[in-house]
Structure 1
């Protein structure tokens, strides 16, 4: 019987992250629920376990070096390796009326906070977990992005892409670019890394605006987390297929 695979999902205490964790557990993975707030993290773990999941909590603030280092040490001590990392934790940052972030009046500290979580946090976690991923026979990394990070779509006036989001959207473009650089650096290894767009999902992240459920939003990330060894790397996907950069 094969060893149980180990996954870590950041921002997994609710919404899309929770459903990614639930979906992976349903496929037989032992899943680490990465989250900052203890009460919400443990509540999510209990809910997953009640549904039959093999889940455990991983205290983690992706914006803090020591917190991420401690998380990596915990997984190394408990599990000895990591097979899947899903970088789901992210923030949109404050918005104005109509969910707009106006680039002409944008608070630059807001941009820094969004990038710190959505981009630097992803690199911080990925780098901390790489030694554990290298212990896996088929390691997978999924960065949860958004189609609003597609510069091609944003620049096309014929595509309805939603409101101007001058902090959030560029942070996802940045994340996509970083994903490509990891794929280039890790070319020739067994680590596959891709970006996933969940679509417009109704969660508290966006005031429950959207036609898709969290379960639907989790599907692409779960697929990329379970790719075969000959699967793609350094690409950007939604349910319908590849998204242009």
Structure 2
């Protein structure tokens, strides 16, 4: 039996990914900052709930103990993330971005990935086929955000794309250091979730496709890559 932990999984892409992996036969832990929302989501899916705030060391450590007591971990999906938005749901551009805003975004999107991955590495090392999936974004692609002929080029925000570029680099370095694991980052596409005020053009079913695919990667699958539903994408 494969055991999977998904952070930020009580709604949106995380919830849909959990639903699909439960259907595929995984034992899935719904990681959620809000314990009650996580419990309700887990009940709906036939999954397990674990309180997990990726910005809090004590919360992550407690989650490790819970998952270890449940038998260990094979797949980690770092899905929890935030995007900086103004009161009218508009993206905060370069002239208005502040160091505090950058710090807040990186605390969840970057430091959270490192905090959770580092904490769960001992459990993943015990797995026969360990997998880590880091949910990134096409906005983290330097190739796309610097190319005027791409939709990505017109995105005005700073903190969110910078955080996802950092996630991409983290993914590559982890993959090189841990060749026995399959560690990749994925671009779900512009999916309608609370993250973007439900302005996305894809459904969560469409967005979760590449996350699920990479979570199911076997020992001979790719590692250190950056993928969307159509295959590798440029860094």
Question: What TM-score, normalized to structure 2?
Answer: 0.96
Structure 1 partner of 2:136: 145
The answer as to 2:15 corresponding to 1:15 is: no
Unmatched 5+ stretches in structure 1: 50-54
Contact 1:42 1:57 (8 Å CA) reproduced? yes
CA deviations over 1:120-157 (Å, ceiling 9, x no partner): 10010001111111111111000000000001000000
User: In the alignment, is the contact (CA less than 8 A) between 1:197 and 1:238 conserved in 2?
Assistant: yes
Aligned-partner SS, 2:49: strand
**Aligned length, in residue pairs:** 234
Structure 1 CA distance for aligned equivalents of residues 62 and 36 of structure 2? 18
Match of 2:173 among 177, 181, 188: 181
- Mapping 1:1-245, distance limit 5 Å: 4-49=1-46, 55-79=47-71, 81-95=72-86, 99-161=90-152, 162-187=154-179, 189=180, 191-245=181-235
Q: 1:9 touches 1:21 (CA, 8 Å); kept in 2? A: yes
TM-score by length of 1: 0.92
Distance 2:89 2:28 in 1: 37
Unpaired segments ≥5 residues, structure 2? none
Which segment is superposed worse, 205-214 or 91-100? 91-100
Contact 1:34 1:57 (8 Å CA) reproduced: yes
Q: CA RMSD in A?
A: 1.2
